[in-house]
Structure formats: structure tokens, C-alpha cells
Structure 1
């Protein structure tokens, strides 16, 4: 008879992934050992191997789980009945929010995917391409004319350029946070510098 999982197994597994992602993000995948992951999780190394067979399995799971979640987010937004602009704006806001909650996993995805083998890397990159494709479709729906110039995907990549690297300069304890910057990114993408509203300006008007 198959042995069932102990109560709390999934929570423990999620904790391991979170701690490992933090270590990989701070020290890099090559610079992190399974001993360090086990220590960060407050468990023995044999106990850690009960959840993940090796460090590589941690890397694959962190990267793939993160991009899989992003796929879910884009599909949720695109299934709404909002108009084209509202959907694209919601995509931007949701992605900035998601990155704020998963900064370490996002950093692993952007910086450590090169350590994956060809098969795993291509599978995960395919998922990323699908996410980019949804953004491209959203841009195309807003501006159908740009499709003739094949600009939808380049514009989506420019948008991701604003979002993807925010973790390199936006400090969690700084004057600005992801919640404040999310509408700034949307304003800048839709209207350029003249369209950017100051963070908190709308709240001040309502006060």
C-alpha cells in the first residue's frame, strides 16, 4: 500500500522553495549548497532530500512554478469582460503586484535559468513565451493597426523591460513600493512621460 504524505507536507515544501529561492537570489544558484538550504529551512539535509532530490530539482521547481503562476494570472485577467485598455492595464498592475510577492523566485527565473539543461530550459521558456504572447495579444487588441508593422511583441518586450528589472533598484523599505509604481508603469506605457501621475496624487485629491 502506498505511503501517504504527512500532514503539512505541502506547506513544508512551499517553505523550502521560498527559502531556497531567497538563497539563490542572494548568492546565486552555483554559490548555494544544499547544506545552506537545509540550514535556512531549519531541517537536516536528509530531511531536505525527502522533498527534493537535489539542488537542481529545487531550481527547476522554483523557475517553473513561478512562470506557471504567471500564466494563470494572465489567463484570469484575459477572461474578464473589461475592454482592451482595461485588460492591458490590469495585466500590468497584476504583474507588478506578483513580482512584489515573488521577487526571489523572479530573480531566479531571470538570472539562473541558464543553469537548466536544454529540455527544462526550453519548456520553461515556452511558458514565458506564452505569457509574452498574451501581452502581445492585449496590445494588438488595443491597437490593431500596429500589427501591420509587427510591433505588438516588441512593445510587449519593452513593457516587460520596465517590469522585469524593478527588483534590481526598487527597495522594499524605500520611499516607493511596487503598489505605488504599478500605476506609474501603466501610465508611462500608455501615454509616455506627460501621462505619469505622481504616486499618491489621487489619494490627496480625495482627502
Structure 2
């Protein structure tokens, strides 16, 4: 394929992904048809099928491309070789920055990946696992000892619980932006984590076999 044609193909593909992500976020994966996606993208249905053979592979490409961007973001923050606290703050700020510009893609990741067939879903979840592991590493650097107690990944998931659903309530025309929220999230989370590594020892004796933190850490 000539370079010009290749560039045009890629631009069209990305435009399709963006329009489809917006439609999925607004209507849900199951409610959107390929005909509606084609109309939203401003292309014919046959042309849409030239890019994607079915709706599931379109969903997978949206998710896979978005997770690749998050993995690249983690790698770029790692490359800066920051001290522990600035490193975690940078991860939080950069993730909220990308969430702000990719709300539809993020909504698809949170709400629709579960509809993928197992092998495609596993591929996306494996990349998500790399992102979670990177945050767990960053949190362990800030509060050493969490990993030894099996708390590094559960605490990372608490952080994602704080930021992953911002697309449902943080509006572009609201009083606070994603950039405004970044230092607030960092302050709340980091102050909450401070000293946490010492709490597992005192609470372990009260934990039962159904202890959810223990179950998560073992998984």
C-alpha cells in the first residue's frame, strides 16, 4: 500500500473508532447496530465492513487501542525516573488527563469489554493487568511494605475505583476539570495510604476466611 493510502486508511480507521466509541458510550454496545455506527462515522455500511467484519472486533479495537495508550503513558512516566511521590502523582495526573480527552473510549473499557468473547477479553485484561501492576509498584514505593502484606494491588484497585468512574459525573462544563481533580485525588489517596502498611498486622487476627482484602490479594 502506498504511504498516502496507508495514512488515509489509518486516519479513517481512527475516525471510525472515535465515532463508534461515542455511540457505544451513549447507547451501549448491544443497542448500537453496524448501520447506526456507519451513519455516525459518516461512511457507508459496506465501507465500515471493509474495516471491521463485525461489531465485536470494532469493540475490541477500541479497547485494545485505548489500553495501548495507557500502557504507553505508564512507560513515559517510568522513563522520567521521578522520586516515589512525584512518580505516583504524575501517574494520577496523566491518567486523568487522558480520561478527560477520551471519555467515550474510557466508558467503553469500563462498561462494554465484558461483552467480548473470552479470548479477546483476556487479551484486553492482560494489558489492563500491566497498568494495574505499574500503579501497584508506584504505590509500594510510596508506602513500602504493602506488597509484603498483599495490599499493593488491592490498594491500587481502590485508586482506580476513585478515578475510573469520573466520566459519569465530571462534566466538561462543570466547576471542576480533570486537571483540577488530579491534585485532589492525589492528596486524598496519598494521605490515606500513609501508614497503611502497618495496619495489616493489627487487623489480620480479626480477619475471617471471607476477608475480601485477603481474597483479592490471593487472586
Same fold (TM over 0.5): yes
Distance of 2:131 and 2:7 partners within structure 1: 34
Q: Secondary structure at the match of 2:129?
A: helix
Residues 1-207 of structure 1 aligned to structure 2 (within 5 Å): 5=5, 7-192=7-192
- Two-structure CA RMSD over aligned residues (Å): 1.5
Q: Secondary structure at the match of 1:136?
A: helix
Give the deviation of 1:124 after TM superposition. Answer: 0.7
Any idea what the Cα deviations from partners look like across 1:109-152, whole Å, max 9, x if unmatched?
Answer: 11111110110111110111110000001111122122232211
Count matched residues. 191
Inter-CA distance 147–180: structure 2 relative to 1 (3 Å threshold): same
Q: Secondary structure at the match of 2:145?
A: helix
Query: What is residue 201 of structure 2 aligned with on the other side?
Result: none
Give the deviation of 1:3 after TM superposition. Answer: 8.0
Distance of 2:6 and 2:120 partners within structure 1: 29
Give unmatched runs, 5+ long, in structure 1. Answer: 193-207
Give the deviation of 1:154 after TM superposition. Answer: 1.2
TM-score (norm. length: structure 2): 0.83
Distance of 1:81 and 1:113 partners within structure 2: 32
Give the deviation of 1:42 after TM superposition. Answer: 1.3
Give the deviation of 1:175 after TM superposition. Answer: 1.1
Any idea what the Cα deviations from partners look like across 1:148-190, whole Å, max 9, x if unmatched?
Answer: 3221111111100011010111111111111111111111111
Inter-CA distance 191–49: structure 2 relative to 1 (3 Å threshold): same
TM-score (norm. length: structure 1): 0.88
Any idea what the Cα deviations from partners look like across 1:10-53, whole Å, max 9, x if unmatched?
Answer: 11111100000000000000000111111111111111112111
